[in-house]
């Protein structure tokens, strides 16, 4: 990754076009990769691919290891004989994801496909499935967790009967037997997700496109991760978090962001040699070529908020594991191709941790034009070892951002880019591509020139996020050629 100029596009697979009300790992996904190749791009960045929980956020999942069943391509299951064509997909809106609608029709179809496979699948595929089950260490805990969650009416795991909430061995065995069919369905669904994703990754890699994945530092409380490893988190005697994660007041929120994730007991993790983290990175690098580590600064120090607080204002910085964790992971896995999300309140200690391992940090052009020539997000202040974005999934689109600026702020943008602002998204992409940053990545919304209605996420708001989709006909040959010309001009191909 280092010292070769590259560029790429940020797009979560749920935003892909196609039938079924949500993007999938099917034909439209391959078409998008074909577009990237035609446009001279060498990177595709995605958000976390896990099974989204609260608010449909990919940063709040039922597992840090599992894949999102809603991304499975049903057409592939039909081709394999696990679904009847009569069980065709159920279309919802084409420009947004209606998650409730998609879950309502797709999850029953996936369970039906699992039943058909277990009852009538051919031996070769069953052997592949059994191998997946035998070599995927997190799988049974996840499948049991999801099955129990449905069995107990969707309740959080700490509200289950005490014997199974606390994972008493006899209870684990009892429920594993009693719910064996449903557990098998969950394992089949994960098998299909991972085999489809690996085919997509191989398709991209063959075309010279690397996948940039995303690891959120924290996990959801109501997840298989916390249920299976409660000793690794700061919980009280009733299995509830004593403190939760967040960030102090910042650019995005005057009261900070109270994320609500449980915080790690780093001493307990260190006592185990960071085993869980090593396996988490190992699993992620089986899916991606490079990983963006979200909220990297939390490994140096994180904002600890008492669980009883309703906002993140009354928190404090608490030291993280720092070099001990990364030394352990590198010792087990070797060099880590990581991008450090180093936005927000960044201290010299965070920079030292990032630079010790030569992890490139992030530069956001939306943050560049409000504090004079010394602003570190302005391209003339970059070093090579960084990644420049117009914006991220948490920002407005570039057009929406520009339209919201004051006249004075717009003047600064136009002066720096030396343009009229008529095509501001292309001008900012050109500035990024021309910079010395090794990597330049743009949300697809910016390439398409879309306004704020195409925004992916508004931090601090619980509803209405993560649902944007685009129509396939917007990925035209002319658009690919225009991006290719700029990519070649600035030496990123």
Query: Are 290 and 1 a contacting pair, CB within 8 Å?
Result: yes
Rounded Cα distance, 100 and 106, in Å:
10
CB atoms within 10 A of CB 287: 18
Decide: 237 and 165 in contact? Cβ < 8 Å: no
Q: Look up 341 and say whether it is catalytic.
A: yes
Q: How far is CA 75 from the centre of its chain?
A: 24
Whole-angstrom CA distances from 10 to 45, 55, 135 are 5, 21, 31
| N- to C-terminal Cα separation, the chain | 13
Given the residues 294, 300, 396, 438, the one annotated as active site: 294
**Do 312 and 248 form a contact (C-beta atoms < 8 A)?**
yes
Quick one: which H or E segment has residue 330?
helix 323-333
List the Cα angle 72/76/79 in 5-degree steps. 155
Could you give the CA distance from residue 204 to residue 161 in angstroms, rounded to a whole number?
45
Q: CB-based burial of residue 188 (10 Å sphere; 0-12 exposed, 13-18 middle, 19+ buried)?
A: buried
Catalytic residue, from 222, 394, 438, 446: name it. Answer: 394
Give the active site residue among 341, 385, 427, 438.
341
DSSP state of 80: H
- Catalytic residue status for 34: no
C-alpha span between 81 and 88 (Å, rounded):
13
Which DSSP state fits 368?
A: S
Structure tokens at 174: 């009892």
Question: Residue 304 catalytic?
Answer: no
CA distances in angstroms from 258 to 178, 249, 312, 460, 462, listed in the order given: 38, 10, 5, 8, 11
Burial 112-140 (b: 16+ CB within 10 A, else e): bbbebbbeebeeeeeeebeebbeebebbb
What positions carry a catalytic annotation? 294, 341, 394
């Amino acid at each position: 990754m280092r010292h070769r100029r590259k560029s790429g596009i940020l797009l979560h697979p749920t935003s892909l076009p196609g039938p079924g009300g949500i993007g999938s790992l099917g034909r439209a996904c391959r078409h998008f990769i074909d577009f990237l190749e035609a446009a001279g791009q060498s990177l595709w960045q995605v958000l976390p691919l896990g099974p989204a929980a609260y608010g449909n956020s990919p940063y709040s999942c039922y597992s840090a290891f599992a894949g999102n069943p809603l991304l499975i391509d049903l057409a592939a299951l039909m081709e394999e004989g696990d679904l009847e064509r009569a069980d065709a997909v159920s279309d919802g809106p084409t420009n947004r994801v209606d998650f409730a609608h998609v879950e309502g029709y797709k999850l029953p179809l996936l369970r039906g496909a699992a039943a058909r496979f277990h009852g009538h699948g051919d031996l070769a595929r069953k052997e592949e499935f059994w191998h997946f089950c035998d070599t995927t260490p997190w799988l049974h805990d996840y499948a049991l967790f999801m099955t129990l969650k449905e069995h107990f009416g969707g309740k959080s795991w700490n509200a289950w009967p005490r014997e199974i909430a606390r994972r008493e061995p006899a209870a684990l065995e009892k429920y594993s037997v009693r719910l064996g069919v449903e557990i098998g369905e969950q394992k089949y669904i994960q098998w299909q997700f991972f085999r489809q994703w690996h085919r997509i990754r191989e398709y991209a890699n063959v075309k010279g496109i690397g996948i940039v994945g995303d690891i959120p530092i924290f996990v959801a409380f109501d997840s298989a991760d916390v249920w299976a490893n409660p000793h690794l988190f700061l919980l009280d005697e009733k299995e509830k978090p004593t403190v939760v994660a967040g960030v102090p007041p910042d650019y995005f929120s005057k009261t900070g962001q109270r994320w609500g994730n449980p915080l790690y007991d780093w001493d307990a993790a260190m006592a185990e040699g960071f085993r869980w983290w090593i396996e988490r990175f190992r699993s992620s690098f089986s899916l991606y070529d490079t990983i963006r580590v979200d909220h990297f600064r939390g490994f140096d120090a994180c904002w600890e908020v008492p669980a009883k607080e309703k906002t993140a204002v009354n928190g404090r910085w608490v030291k993280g594991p720092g070099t001990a964790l990364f030394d352990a992971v590198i010792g087990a896995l070797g060099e880590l191709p990581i991008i450090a999300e180093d936005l927000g309140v960044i201290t010299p200690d965070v920079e030292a941790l990032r630079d010790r391992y030569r992890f490139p940090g992030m530069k956001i052009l939306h943050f560049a034009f409000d504090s004079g020539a010394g602003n570190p997000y302005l391209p003339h202040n970059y070093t090579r070892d960084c990644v420049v974005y117009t914006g991220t999934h948490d920002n407005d689109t570039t057009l929406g951002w520009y339209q919201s600026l004051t006249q004075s702020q717009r003047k600064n943008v136009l002066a720096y880019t030396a343009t009229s602002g008529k095509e501001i998204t292309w001008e900012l992409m050109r500035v990024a591509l021309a910079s010395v940053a090794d990597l330049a990545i743009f949300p697809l919304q910016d390439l398409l020139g879309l306004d704020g209605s195409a925004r992916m996420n508004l931090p601090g708001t619980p509803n209405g996020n993560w649902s944007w989709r685009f129509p396939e006909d917007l990925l035209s040959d002319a658009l690919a050629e225009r991006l290719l010309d700029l990519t070649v001009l600035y030496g990123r191909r």
